[in-house]
A = this chain, B = another copy of it.
Amino acid sequence: MVRSSGTKRAILDAALELAATRGITGTTMDDVAERAGVAKGSLYYNFSSKDQLFEALLEEGVGALAENLRAARGTLVGWEAIEALVGALLDRIAANAALAKLMASEIFRTDRAWQKTLFALRHEALAVFAEAIEEAGAGAVAPDAAAPASGTSTIMAASVFGAVLMSGLEWLVFEPERSRDEVAAAILASLSGAFAPR
């Protein structure tokens, strides 16, 4: 992924760090060049435009996330698959908080040059969750409230993904003193009916 000339890698890393706090639109090419320790001309030698630079960044990051999730799930099924996926996603968020922030802020924008690329990757990541949810037979043991309609596994996947993403960022950004296991347990508890009637 991105056959590193070294410079390319430095540019991508700098862009990610800056965009995590300022957002993509709020990050200037001058900022990126300075942080990467190269001249602005080198940015345009390696990437044809600002849009293309950030498309490459998101493609690399979210693509790696989807692969990582698939690997984490392995051949697990049922609740074990969910546990593995939640843990793996949380770890990815912790290992790359900058990308997580960027995803949170870009995932629902529909006006970007890289919209299609991001949509496909987002869908790929969600699909890993959706498949695990379907195989876990969600709905078979639904509570007294209405059972989820068929075909809502993507919605449920978004629900689980959103739970991990928001909790993970809440942890890293606002409550960094907590332990990873504490956070993972809290998320799994919220997803396992800890406050639902039995």
Residues of B with C-beta under 8 A to A188: 143, 145
Q: A148 and B182 in contact (CB under 8 A), knowing A108-B101, A109-B105?
A: yes
Q: Which residues of chain B are within 8 angstroms of A64 by Cβ–Cβ distance?
A: none
Q: Report yes or no: B194 in contact with A138, Cβ–Cβ below 8 A.
A: yes
Q: In the assembled complex, which residues on chain B have CB atoms less than 8 Å from the CB atom of A138? A: 189-190, 194-195
In the complex the two chains form, is A190's CB within 8 Å of B160's CB? yes
A163 to B192, CA, bound (A): 13
Could you say which residues of chain B place their CB within 8 Å of the CB of A194? 136, 138-143, 148, 156, 193
Q: Is the CB of B108 within 8 A of A192?
A: no
Q: A170-B155, A192-B142 are in contact. Are A185 and B147 (CB under 8 A)?
A: yes
- Complex contacts, A119 vs chain B, CB 8 Å: 174
Q: How far is the CB of A49 from chain B (nearest CB, A)?
A: 16
A117 sits at the interface (CB 8 A): no
CB A21 to nearest CB in B, in angstroms, measures 5
Tell whether A175 pairs with B155 under 8 Å between CB atoms, given A166-B161, A185-B147, A186-B148. yes
Interface residues of A in 151-186 (CB under 8 A from B): 152, 154-156, 158-167, 169-171, 173-175, 178, 181-183, 185-186
Identify 13 new A-B residue pairs, CB closer than 8 A, beyond the known A105-B106, A163-B190. Answer: A23-B23, A79-B196, A79-B197, A119-B174, A138-B195, A148-B186, A152-B182, A155-B167, A155-B183, A159-B190, A162-B162, A191-B193, A193-B194
Listed A/B pairs (16) with beta-carbon separation below 8 Å: A21-B109, A22-B109, A23-B23, A78-B197, A83-B145, A104-B105, A108-B169, A142-B189, A142-B194, A145-B192, A148-B182, A158-B166, A158-B170, A162-B164, A163-B166, A191-B191
